[in-house]
Amino acid sequence: MNNKITFASAETCMIMDPIHSNSLGNVHGGELMKIMDNIAGIVCVKHTKGTVVTARVDEIEFHKPVHVGNIVTCTGQLAYVGTSSMQVMVNVVVDRLDESSDQEPALTAFFTMVHLVDGKPSKVPKLVINTKEEEELYKLGEKKYKEIKLKL
């Protein structure tokens, strides 16, 4: 049995409906951020096997608009763990069904999630780095974590 804690991830796809948009057919940024927040939460629940809350969202960047009828794919990848907090890199790509183009990046952000036990921050399992890609992601997440700590 493998006891190594790997880098948790999660993914979901959704077609954007009129309920997600304004009167011009553009999907509200808040709707997309909600999807991103859910994915970040799922990633961290998978890692901690417990309750997590969103503490912070950093560097949210809107790259391309999303419209009604587009399919969005949202992925989250655990990047770094501190004592009770975790950094999750979240990406949203868009498929435009009326065009023959490839998927395009629509949004990116880093989420800081905190593990709670009895309503208080609680220790999270450490990560074991198994690949070069995980090492690079860990270094990026660690950099973001340290930048946040400097701001506080």
- Measured CA to CA, the distance from residue 73 to residue 81 in angstroms comes to 24
Residue 97 lies in a domain: yes
User: Domain count of the chain?
Assistant: 1
Residue 3 lies in a domain: no
- Measured CA to CA, the distance from residue 93 to residue 85 in angstroms comes to 26
List of residues 6+ apart from 143 with CB closer than 8 A: none
Indicate which CATH number applies to the domain containing 43.
3.10.129.10
- The answer to whether 116 touches 45, Cβ cutoff 8 Å, is no
Identity of the residue numbered 60 = I
Residue 70 lies in a domain: yes
Residue 83 lies in a domain: yes
Containing domain of residue 93, as a range? 9-151
| Each residue's pLDDT tens digit, 132-143 | 998 999 999 999
Q: Tally Cβ neighbours within 10 Å of residue 96.
A: 16
Is 80 exceeded by the pLDDT of residue 16?
yes
CA–chain centroid gap for 148, Å, is 17
Q: Residue 1 has what pLDDT?
A: 39
- Measured CA to CA, the distance from residue 13 to residue 10 in angstroms comes to 11
- Measured CA to CA, the distance from residue 42 to residue 140 in angstroms comes to 20
**β-bridge mates for residue 116, sequence order:** 51, 121
| Each residue's pLDDT tens digit, 21-54 | 998 989 999 999 999 999 999 999 999 999 999 9
| Each residue's pLDDT tens digit, 77-131 | 999 999 999 999 999 999 987 766 788 999 999 999 999 999 999 999 998 888 9
Residue 22 lies in a domain: yes
**β-bridge mates for residue 113, sequence order:** 54, 86
Alpha carbon distance, N-terminus to C-terminus of the chain: 41
Residue 81 lies in a domain: yes
Residue 115 lies in a domain: yes
Q: Residue 3 has what pLDDT?
A: 47
Is 90 exceeded by the pLDDT of residue 14?
yes
Q: Residue 6 has what pLDDT?
A: 67
Residue 28 lies in a domain: yes
